[in-house]
Amino acid sequence: MSVVKSIELVLPKDAIYLAGSSIKGKMILTLNSTLVDPIVKVELVGRGYIEWSEEAGASRDYSRNVICNNKADYVHKTKTFPVEDNWLSAGRHTFDFRFNLPPRLPSTFSSKFGPCLLFLQASCMGREHILAKKEDVLMGSRNSNPLLVEAEEKVSYNCCRQGTICLQIQMEKNTFTPGEKVVFTTEINNQTSKCIKTVIFALYAHVQYEGFTPGAERRSRLDSSELLRQEANTHMTRFNTTKIVSTFNLPALLSVSSSTRDGEIMHTRYELVITVHLPWSLTSLKAKVPIIITSASVDSAGCQSSEDGVLRVSPDHQN
């Protein structure tokens, strides 16, 4: 029978840890018998790894696939617990721990190119042998002025007729936190003799991965995905202006927006795209609004923030 009966980590349920915040928890070790000279510790590890293949030499007579990859270690801290008299009796033992996250820590993610993980690892050793190990993966994440974006398109229809469509998007701010509500107003000025029926609102995430070939050549790969989508089917009459007020809730877990920095393996940006479909002119009008996701404290719309910077997600707002 093993000396260690069980080992577990106790942490706040569904917590999202922000860069610069603290992780508080307990390690519970239950022994079947006395353990002499134990080493009991908890480690905090944050690391990322990405990999993809791409074609090299496509413009030449021959080409080949090369593997591009990159990795980064963001944090590695260890808490070794003191053991009185260098022995532990049979039964249950509780150890408290706390780690401070670095102020520059990327959001955790998992994609087809690889993961960026933040995890805790608890272990118990005796006489140079690991007797038990437990690992828990954590979720980690990273006041603005009003914003006005305009777009205009001259369109032709019915062979020889022309008109103008003006699109205007207004937001009180374009900086948000995960789980926050986004509200914006779309104004469409239709100076044509045709009606407009469909407007699409979509939020996109654009993630650029940075890697290296075996020959140390720097390469990048862009991956875009649609996070949210709404469709407004409103009869917008000719030579008239229509206003649409839209609202959607951001997912509770999002990578924070980031700019290109040396040594980073990925960078994320978001944009809200409003598309006015004009089937009678075989064209469409688009306006793109940059959206910034930060790790600042959020309100009670989807998460509850605490003084230690941990966001606790309510069940109604989980993905």
Please tell me the total number of residues recorded for the chain in this structure.
Answer: 319
Question: What's the pLDDT score for residue 102?
Answer: 84
pTM check: above 0.75: no
Residues 137 and 252 in one domain: no
Distance CA 11, CA 97 (A): 10
**Could you list the residue range(s) of the whole structural domain that residue 60 is in?**
4-141
At which of 141, 171, 200 does a domain end? 141
Q: Do 101 and 75 meet the contact criterion of CB atoms below 8 Å apart?
A: yes
For residue 96, give the CATH number of its domain.
2.60.40.640
Residue 300 placed within a domain: no
Q: Do 204 and 120 share a structural domain?
A: no
Q: Which amino acid makes up residue 305? A: S
Which residues are within 8 A (CB) of 234 and not within 5 positions of it... i.e. 6 or more apart? 197, 199, 242, 244
pLDDT at 296 over 70: no
Residue 259: enclosing H or E segment and its boundaries? none
Same domain, residue pair 27 and 89: yes
pLDDT digits (tens, 9 = 90+) for 255-264: 888 765 555 7
**Residue 312 placed within a domain:** no
Res 145: pLDDT: 53
| Within-domain flag for 289 | yes
Q: How confident is the model at residue 313 (pLDDT cuts 50, 70, 90)?
A: very low
Query: Does residue 218 belong to any structural domain of this protein?
Result: yes
Tell which residue, 12, 13, 22, 32, has the closest CA to residue 124. 32
H or E element at residue 314:
none
pLDDT of residue 144: 46
Q: Tell me the mean pLDDT in the region 160-184.
A: 88
Residues 6+ apart with CB under 8 A from 87: 34, 35, 36, 37, 38
Q: How many domains does the chain have?
A: 2
Mean pLDDT of the chain: 83
For residues 268 and 206, membership in a common domain is answered with: yes
Considering the domain architecture, whether residues 53 and 165 belong to the same structural domain is answered as: no
* Residues 170, 249 share a domain: yes
